[in-house]
Amino acid sequence: MEVTKTELIDVVLLTPRIWTDRRGFFLESFNAREYERTGIPTHFVQDNHSRSTYGVLRGLHYQLAKPQGKLVTVIRGRIFDVTADVRRGSPTFGQCVSVVLDDVRSQSLWIPPGFAHGFCALSEEVDVLYKCTEYYDPPSERGICWNDPTLSIQWPIESPILSEKDASYPQLSAEGKSLPDYIIGR
């Protein structure tokens, strides 16, 4: 497995070795020893699977009281995946990293607790699987507006399909003034 660091502290892209032949392919999608070696937790308590159609944008989501670390993988299709650092006091607070994940390279993105996460479907249909280090906790669910100008995310579509909840999330406060209470501590 190849580990590539991103611009955000502790967010890493994992590229598995893929064996292909005339029958198809084989890869290890999870190996606890390899993940421990890279510093990624191996205790996950919940797996989530979402299916989206082209242009659907989900996020940017995180949990306040019970932050989730997420290991995100596309098992069918292609997404534009975004991670934003919302850890108060972090040197990369308010910064984002984006990657394209697909079912060809089968990469995974490790997103530690304290980061907001979202993605946009780039293929006709996409299946995203993500392992979580903490259970879903509805009372602590929070989000940031997908098109927040302070995050400067260069989404590949102009008019995404959003849920009502995702469309109503607040923006990250400009220039650190009056930070909303939804920003989690480090």
Q: Mind listing the pLDDT tens digit for each residue in 52-91?
A: 999 999 999 999 889 999 999 999 999 999 999 988 888 9
Q: What is the 3-state secondary structure (H, E, C) of the chain?
A: CEEEECCCCCCEEEECCEEEECCEEEECCCCHHHHHHCCCCCCCCEEEEEEEECCEEEEEEEECCCCCCEEEEEEECEEEEEEEECECCCCCCCCEEEEEEECCCCCEEEECCCEEEEEEECCCEEEEEEEECCCCCHHHEEECCCCCCCCCCCCCCCCCECCHHHHHCCCCCHHHCCCCCCCECC
Verify whether residue 43 is a known catalytic residue.
no
37: CB partners within 8 A, 6+ apart: none
Give the pLDDT of residue 172: 83
Task: Tell me which residue of 131, 165, 155, 142 sits closest to 82, measured CA to CA.
Answer: 155
Q: pLDDT tens across 96-140, in order?
A: 999 999 999 999 999 999 999 999 999 999 999 999 999 999 999
What pLDDT shows up at residue 88?
82
Work out the percent of the chain whose per-residue pLDDT is above 90: 81
Which domains does the chain carry?
2-176 (2.60.120.10)
Arithmetic mean of pLDDT over the chain: 91
pLDDT at 53: 98
One-letter identity of residue 171: Q
- The pTM (predicted TM-score) of the whole model is 0.90
> Are 157 and 120 a contacting pair, CB within 8 Å?
yes
Question: Catalytic pick from 43, 61, 135, 136?
Answer: 61
- Selecting among 35, 62, 130, 169, the annotated active-site residue is 130
Q: What is the pLDDT of residue 89?
A: 84
Mark whether 117 is an active-site residue. Answer: no
